[in-house]
Amino acid sequence: MSENPLFARRRFLLGGTAIGAGVLLSACTSNATPDSDRTQPVAQGGGDNAEPGEEVTIGFSAPAADHGWMAAMTRNAQAQADIYSDVVFQATEGTNDVNQQIAQVETLINSGVGVLIILPHDGAALTSAGQQAMDAGIPVINVDRVFDSPLAYRMWIGGDNYRMGVNAGNYIGERLIAEGVDDPVIAEVAGIDSLPLTQERSQGFADALERHGFTVSNRVSAEFTVETGESETANLLQAAPRIDALWNHDDDQGIGVLAAIDSAGRNNPDELFVVGGAGSINMMNYIEDPESVVAATVLYSPSMCSSAVSMARLLGQAKGMGDLAEHEIPASLTTYSAVVTADNVADYRDVGFES
């Protein structure tokens, strides 16, 4: 629990002083009357959202923090709530039991929270609970795993699995072309194959590689755990005596992936480079280390949970996002899977999480 992605929100919190040029609209052209109050909509750049407003009670329900990423999601939400003097945060104990999570959401509804943040263990199964809250007049912010129906949430905020794959594929493709590697061997260590998110990541990866004229040569799927990452990669390394680039979907299992690479005596940045996924502090440390094979990681950052809390607060205070011209917060917000490399890792440490 070292850094928190709090300061990543600085842009959002600090009211920019740069007032949009629209204010200076002296647009008295045409035949508009000078005293007309009809102005063009313009973004005011930050506004006064950071100022304490009316008190908002935010209810929070999430799955069990059974791995680093999920633990970071929960911690980030709490930490973001802590910095607001006008937020009362009611978090329930995380659970992977669908019925228990539904019961928790119902409890939060009955306790009269103003806004509800639901990170469902299973989006489909929690849809009815989200709907129930919305029907009770409590706006719901649905984080990451999406509900079946937009009627069940006021706003969805989450990561972009497909683009995660695309950005990993583009990074690997561009780098291999720049290095002039002929007929490269590209390996992929996926997460749980039966999950749609894994399929989206792999699809994005394949599509991006195809643009560069490459395909995945060897693919295994682990189970997001260190141990399966190690065992699958150990076999993968035997299957491909030469690997030029490897994309591992998940930094939690990445520790195991790297252990296997080390066991096989192939921990050599001149021979292969590894791209991670999610953005753990651990991988960021490796990215900084020139001796390590880890060259980059594509974010799927748990900072989205910090953002969800700040959105919930604005929703409760009926404010919009300062940098947009809209009066309300958006209905959907997809976070961007930035590629963190040795060049920019220092800027992204604040959103790194302990895996």
Partner 1 sequence: MGGGLRPDVRILGLLAVLILLCVVGYLTSDGLFLTEGNISTVLRLSAAIGVVSIGMTFVIATGGIDLSVGSMVALSSVWMTTVATQSFGFGMMVVCGLVVGLAAGLVNGLLVSYGKVVPFIATLAMMASARGLAERISGRQTQVVTDQDFLSFFRGDFLGVPVLIWILAVVFAIGWVLLNRTTFGRRTLAVGGNPEASRLAGINVKRHLAMVYGLAGLCCGIAAIMVVARTTSGAASNGLLYELDAIAAVVIGGTLLSGGRASMFGTLIGVLIFTVLGNIFTLNNLETDIQNIAKGVIIVIAVLLQYRTANTNRTT
- In the complex, least distance from residue 218 CB atom to partner 1, rounded to whole angstroms: 5
Q: Does 236 bind partner 1 (CB under 8 A)?
A: yes
Rounded CA separation 150/303 (Å): 23
Q: Does 250 bind partner 1 (CB under 8 A)?
A: no
Q: Which SS3 state, helix, strand or coil, does residue 233 take? A: helix
Q: Does 239 bind partner 1 (CB under 8 A)?
A: yes
Q: Which SS3 state, helix, strand or coil, does residue 61 take? A: strand
Task: Count Cα atoms within 13 angstroms, Cβ side, for 65.
Answer: 17
Q: Does 65 bind partner 1 (CB under 8 A)?
A: yes
Choose which of 44, 61, 161, 221 interacts with partner 1 (CB under 8 A): 221
Exposed e or buried b for every residue in 140-167, given b needs 16+ CB within 10 A? Answer: bbbbbbbbeeeebbbbbbbbbbbbbbbb
CB atoms within 10 A of CB 283: 28
Contact track, partner 1, 201-220, x by CB under 8 A: ----------------xxxx
Contact track, partner 1, 278-297, x by CB under 8 A: ----x---------------
∠ at Cα 165 (6, 233), nearest 5°? 100
- In the complex, least distance from residue 46 CB atom to partner 1, rounded to whole angstroms: 35
Q: Does 259 bind partner 1 (CB under 8 A)?
A: yes
Q: Does 331 bind partner 1 (CB under 8 A)?
A: no
Q: Based on CB atoms, which residue is closest to partner 1, 94 or 322? A: 94
Torsion of CA 175, 179, 182, 183, to 10 degrees: -20
Q: What's the burial of 21, exposed, middle or buried (CB within 10 Å: 0-12/13-18/19+)?
A: exposed
Q: Does 341 bind partner 1 (CB under 8 A)?
A: no
The overall longest dimension of the chain from CA atoms, in Å, is 78
Choose which of 191, 229, 302, 322 interacts with partner 1 (CB under 8 A): 229
Q: Please report, as residue ranges, which positions from 120 to 179 form the binding site for partner 1 (by CB under 8 A).
A: none
Size of the site for partner 1 (CB under 8 A): 40
Residue identified by tokens 């005293």 is 35
How many angstroms from the chain centroid is the CA of residue 298?
A: 10
Task: Count Cα atoms within 13 angstroms, Cβ side, for 13.
Answer: 17
Q: Does 243 bind partner 1 (CB under 8 A)?
A: no
Q: Does 277 bind partner 1 (CB under 8 A)?
A: no
Q: Based on CB atoms, which residue is closest to partner 1, 104 or 355? A: 355
Q: Based on CB atoms, which residue is closest to partner 1, 43 or 65? A: 65
- Find, among 157, 120, 154, the residue nearest to 136 by Cα: 154
Q: Based on CB atoms, which residue is closest to partner 1, 175 or 219? A: 219
- Find, among 248, 259, 253, the residue nearest to 297 by Cα: 248
Tokens of 37: 């109050």
Q: Does 232 bind partner 1 (CB under 8 A)?
A: yes
Applying CB under 8 A, the residues found at the interface with partner 1 are: 65-68, 70-71, 193, 217-221, 223-232, 234-239, 241, 252, 255-256, 258-259, 262-264, 282, 354-355
